[in-house]
């Protein structure tokens, strides 16, 4: 709160002594220093920077370059960004950006594309420091900061090698993107985009495509709190974003009686597809939901959030975006419900 008891503007539009001016991809934006960089970037339309787990700092989807060095934006306070130059994947030199996008598409190193902008920023930052991306150890070390649930690491390594030698991907035949999209449609039962733009995070995630002025709904007990924006919704729902786990780790199966030499018991694992669920809907319209491609292992086939978005849009007479954060996905998502209901 300010001295006058008025909450600070979460997205100020004019510079004051209590704001920070950021240079992002060559554009100046004015930000509240108390916010995290990821929130400010996405609020200002830099949606190639993805929110997979904020504020956990674990998935790497929000990685950007700060003065050329890779940083995860969800744990980077804006107040530390004064005078720094921030580069997202969209701010990379076009020839480098296109080379990465082509190489990742050709190798199959990007499927849904949610993780890929962050991975490109990380590897480009490593290359800018003079590291050799044909060196597998260099690439593997860089990728330790990232998760990808769709592809395999080998395909990303291949793309890094291709970029390092300035080629598209010498190991692979050019991909027929239209045929690949048709095949994906047959396999997945939903239209899917295949092409370099997907690797740049432009696959059409609902959290990115919702109208800027959409109301936002977040879980609130057994219901939903609808606010003017994400901050207002979280405040209204009493939701505190933090680094914590609320799910008890326990082995899911008891070991049957028997003469076992060894037993291996793992705890239940949430599939953790990286695109946190988001659905938006205009009153009377059809909901726009999570991309059905990507490593969701069937979890995105659940359409309960679509029904919620449709209902709330009608009730409020406005476009409503319904969102889960990572904690919500783990605690309330399809995989969790299937686990407890079986």
Name the residue with tokens 């005078």. Answer: 83
Distance in angstroms (rounded) separating the CA atoms of residues 313 and 287: 10
Residue 115 makes contact with ligand FES by CB under 6 A: yes
The residues in 131-160 that bind ligand FES, with binding defined as CB under 6 A, are: 148-151
- Distance between CA 28 and CA 137 in Å, rounded? 37
Cis peptide upstream of residue 16 (ω within 30 degrees of 0):
no
Rounded CA-CA distance 31/126 in Å is 28
Nearer to ligand FES, 150 or 217 (CB): 150
Contact between 121 and ligand FES by CB under 6 A: the answer reads no
Least distance in angstroms from the C-beta of 121 to ligand FES: 12
Segment lying near ligand FES (by CB under 6 A), choices 4-12, 109-117, 178-186, 243-251:
109-117
Instruction: Identify residues 220-279 at the interface with ligand FES (CB under 6 A).
Output: 274
Token pair listed for 100: 């990465």
In angstroms, give the least distance from the CB of 302 to ligand FES.
18
Choose, by CB under 6 A, the member of 31, 52, 282, 290 that binds ligand FES. 52
Query: What token pair was written down for 54?
Result: 């904020």
CA 219 from centre of chain: 19
Can you tell me which of 48, 107, 110, 169 binds ligand FES, judged by CB under 6 A? Answer: 110
Site string for ligand FES, 293-332 (x = CB under 6 A): -xx-------------------------------------
Distance (Å) of CA 255 to CA 261, 266, 308, 340: 12, 11, 40, 19
Residues 71-100 interacting with ligand FES (rule: CB under 6 A)? 72, 74
Closest to ligand FES by CB, 216 or 291:
291
Locate tokens 């059905």: which residue? Answer: 292
d(CA 144, CA 134): 17
* Site for ligand FES, rule CB under 6 A: 51-54, 56-62, 72, 74, 110-116, 148-151, 274, 294-295
């Amino acid at each position: 709160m300010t001295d006058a008891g008025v909450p600070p503007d979460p997205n100020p539009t004019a510079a004051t002594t209590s704001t920070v001016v950021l240079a992002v991809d060559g554009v100046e934006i004015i930000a509240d220093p108390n916010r995290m960089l990821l929130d400010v970037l996405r609020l200002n339309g830099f949606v190639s920077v993805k929110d997979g787990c904020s504020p956990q700092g674990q998935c790497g989807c929000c990685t950007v370059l700060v003065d050329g060095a890779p940083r995860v934006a969800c744990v980077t306070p804006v107040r530390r960004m004064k005078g720094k130059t921030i580069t997202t994947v969209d701010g990379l030199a076009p020839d480098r950006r296109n080379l990465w996008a082509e190489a990742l598409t050709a190798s199959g190193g990007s499927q849904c594309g949610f993780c890929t902008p962050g991975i490109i920023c990380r590897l480009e930052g490593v290359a800018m420091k003079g590291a050799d991306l044909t060196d597998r150890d260099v690439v593997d070390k860089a990728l330790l900061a990232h998760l990808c649930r769709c592809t395999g690491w080998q395909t990303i390594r291949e793309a890094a090698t291709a970029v390092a030698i300035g080629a598209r991907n010498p190991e692979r035949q050019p991909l027929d993107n239209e045929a690949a999209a048709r095949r994906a449609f047959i396999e997945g039962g939903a239209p899917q985009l295949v092409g370099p733009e997907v690797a740049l995070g432009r696959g059409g995630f609902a959290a990115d495509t919702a109208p800027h002025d959409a109301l936002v709904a977040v879980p609130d007990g057994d219901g939903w709190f609808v606010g003017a924006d994400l901050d207002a919704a979280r405040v209204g729902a009493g939701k505190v974003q933090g680094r914590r786990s609320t799910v008890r780790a326990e082995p899911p199966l008891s070991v049957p009686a028997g003469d076992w030499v060894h037993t291996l018991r793992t705890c239940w694992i949430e599939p953790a597809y990286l695109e946190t669920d988001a659905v938006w809907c205009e009153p009377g319209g059809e909901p726009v939901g999570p991309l059905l491609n990507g490593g969701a292992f069937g979890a995105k086939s659940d359409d309960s959030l679509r029904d919620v978005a449709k209902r709330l849009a009608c009730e409020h007479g406005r476009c409503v975006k319904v969102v889960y954060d990572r904690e919500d996905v783990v605690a309330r998502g399809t995989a969790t419900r299937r686990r407890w209901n079986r």
